[in-house]
Amino acid sequence: MIKLETMNSEIKLSREFEGKVEALEEAITKECQKYKGIPVAISGGIDSGTTAALTKPDFVISVSLPGDEKYDETKHAEEVARHLDVKRIVVKTDHTLFDSSMEEAVKAIGRPIPHFNIFPLFEMYKKLHSMGVKELILGDGPDESMSGYTRNLIMKYLYDSYGKQGFTHYHPMLNYILPDPVVTYAEIVKKPLEQVSPLMEGLPLVKGMNKVDMQLMRPDMDDMSNGIARHFGIRNIRPLQDNPVIDNMMYELPDELKIHDDVGKVALRLIAEKHLPFGIAWRKRKVGGPVYPVGKFWGQADEFDKKKYLAYQENILNK
């Protein structure tokens, strides 16, 4: 067994699992080397940070958001850039531009998108366009294929209760507390049960969630960033997602290399810690930025009111 320290616990990695991590690292490294020098958008997390470490970009770019660390992750992006010794460009958001930028962005995307990244991404691509940049590398992909979302961690934590020895005779009670995981996950991701059920049917929970995330949730993220990028004449490159071999390697990893305690994307973190500060590689409490707290500026208690946010976009498209 190979023992690896995380921020607050220890992972015991078998030789078999170690080989899977090494194979993934080799595939990722080979893919990233194709795009040497191209700018990388970094958030301060492991996906974009590892991608930047392996592609060796001319510069990286990140977005500064208003508020505390819950929204603004630029200090982590700065730490990554400093560690990699690469130039970093920071785009600062100006809320007075929100409505005009959103109108242009939503029309470029062509449909409402539930993600709160639209405005900061639009400002980032606008800056890149002014610099004459034609290609941008993104770290997208592992969140869907390797359980990078908090919902994945919570679902596994809760439904693992069925395997607890002390709960062996209490499955009826668990059934009462925890609905069918397919039903629960459909509710969480706000997708029709008839779309979610066929994707999760017959699969273990983690792999089922990953399949839903890859096929139903990922298109929203891709349509958003691709639509804005095209608007500014920029091509997005996603080394960790565009290559189907790598995407499938991540999806096929065993649960132990995806989720450990309350962190996801374990295999990628093991790779990342070779290239990034240890605290970044195993950092928790990451929102998934740049996430703009729209409701906060609308005077709402809920800074992420998707219903109002989508209605706002619908209104733009119907003008």
Does the structure show a pLDDT above 60 at 9?
Answer: no
Asked if 50 contacts 267 with a C-beta cutoff of 8 angstroms, the reply is: no
Q: Which residue type does 238 have?
A: R
CA–CA gap between residue 20 and residue 195 (Å, rounded)? 31
CA–CA gap between residue 212 and residue 210 (Å, rounded)? 5
Q: Which fold has domain 2-318?
A: Rossmann fold (3.40.50)
Q: So what's the pLDDT on residue 69?
A: 62
Per the DSSP assignment, residues forming a β-bridge with 237 are 137
Q: Mean pLDDT, the chain, as a whole number?
A: 92
Quick: pLDDT tens for 68-109.
566 677 889 999 999 999 999 999 999 999 999 999 999 999
Percent of the chain with pLDDT over 70: 93
The single-letter DSSP state of residue 236 is E
Written as one string, the DSSP assignment of 18-65 is HHHHHHHHHHHHHHHGGGTT--EE--SSHHHHHHHHHH--SEEEEEE-
Residue spans of the domains in the chain: they are: 2-318
Residues 231-239 have a mean pLDDT of 98
pTM over cut 0.85: yes
Quick: pLDDT tens for 262-312.
899 999 999 999 999 999 999 876 656 678 888 888 888 888 888 999 999
Rg (CA), the chain: 20
Helix, coil or strand: residue 208: helix
